[in-house]
Copies of this chain bind each other. A is one copy, B any other.
Amino acid sequence: MNNSGAYQEHLPAVPEWLNKGDNAWQMTAATLVGLQSMPGLVILYASIVKKKWAVNSAFMALYAFAAVLICWVLLCYRLAFGDKLLPFWGKGAVSLGQNYLTRRAAIPESTHHYSNGTIESPMNQPFFPMASLVYFQFTFAGHHHHFTGGLWGGGFLYHWGVIDYSGGYVIHLASGISGFTAAYWVGPRMKTDRERYVPNNILLMLAGAGLLWMGWSGFNGGAPYAANIVSSVAILNTNISAATSLLVWTTLDVVYFGKPSVIGAVQGMITGLACITPGAGVVQSWAAIVYGMLSGSIPWYSMMILHKKSTLLQKVDDTLAVFYTHAVAGILGGLLTGLFAEPDLCELILPVKNTKGAFYGGGSQFVKQLVAALFIIGWNILSTTIILLLIRILIPLRMPQEQLMIGDDAVHGEEAYALWGDGEKYDATQHG
């Protein structure tokens, strides 16, 4: 009895176009990207917020992961990419369908997650985000991708030659801007929450951050839909940029504030990852060090120094500083790609011939990247505003005051921890 051959006898040869090495990597990369959201961002956001919002933050990230995935299958995929209604099985469509689904859905998903970061607590829960942000994803997918284009689409910016290697512009710049805009309309947290908003669990935050970092290898490495040279370069550069940025941010923390903050280290890691994304597969590794040095310092400066001086920036209550870690880091990465895109690597993956950064003589590339940034900024301020104002007609954007005061228990009937006494929740009258 040869059990091991049970499949081999029956399995037909895979079609010509399907390279099993590429397919193995795609399935792996998609899973790594899934890990970034669930549990990565679910626990990262849940543990970096104040205790009373832990369950709520987790819930938002979790339902969004599920909701965006289903929206994508049912409608948005078609809005964004054209001809097909559902990525069903059939003439060579399935394996790619799988790729589309899980990795591509990551783009609206991540955008949603990151935008949420700005309006963590005051948003009316959970009906407003269900109504608004899922709806926002539809718009996002339907229009944004078409116009902005990624590497994969037919958007006009793409055909004009704008480089957005793994969707970094679409995710980081768009989420930073639309999140900031939404935070403006939803309004700030309660005064007591603004004044004291200590992360409830730094160790679990690091668990989430680690999955985010390593999952990024799937995100940037998975962008070529192949296990080729570009995917390897992208992973190398992603790690170099994240590590450099983390070290630069930490060094600045030590120099200016006297102490290395582990939360600061994670912020630096995130800006390093966000920044390299638009260029990960098209720049050389020395350039990735430049990305990391700038992503560890410019967002740091804007968040730690500029923010405190600017009344405009303080006017909007950006709960998790997403504007700095994503919008600033995203635009920085897109512009740097206009400088450092390497001709030979561009040749391997881009559709427009002779693409190259200013450093290699392609001065116009920098201009293209800048125009794309301005387009994305304008588009997101406008569309987010319109959508939120429309939704405000149906549902209040802001959580009722009593929910704002109590937090998780009022919204979900659940509290994050039951660690006291005989497995009780924290009770101030009993536990001090």
Contact = CB atoms under 8 A, between A and B. Distances in A.
Given A263-B414, A285-B73, A242 B66 contact: yes
Interface stretch (A163-171, A208-216, A388-396): A208-216
Interface string A78-99: 0001110011110011111111
Contact of A34 (B192, B214, B285): B214
Contact of A416 (B96, B102, B202, B232): B202
Interface stretch (A49-57, A111-119, A319-327, A369-377): A49-57
Contacts of A27: 25, 28, 217, 221, 227, 231-232, 235
Contact of A432 (B65, B254, B430): B430
A319 to B, nearest CB: 14
Interface in A9-43: 10-12, 14-15, 17-28, 30-32, 34-35, 38-40, 42-43
Interface in A195-253: 196-204, 206-211, 213-214, 217-218, 221, 224-229, 231-233, 235-236, 239-240, 242-244, 246-247, 250
B62 A265 contact: yes
A402 interface: no
Nearest to A213: B38
A95 B229 contact: yes
B154 A39 contact: no
Interface secondary structure of A, over-half rule = helix
A420 interface: yes
B247 A67 contact: yes
Copy tally for this chain in the complex stands at 3
A102 B206 contact: no
Interface residues of A, number: 155
A260 interface: yes
Q: Which of A100, A225, A418 has the most CB of B within 10 A?
A: A418
Contact of A244 (B65, B70, B262, B428): B70
A156 interface: no
Contact of A232 (B81, B83, B94, B202): B94
Contact of A431 (B14, B39, B231, B431): B431
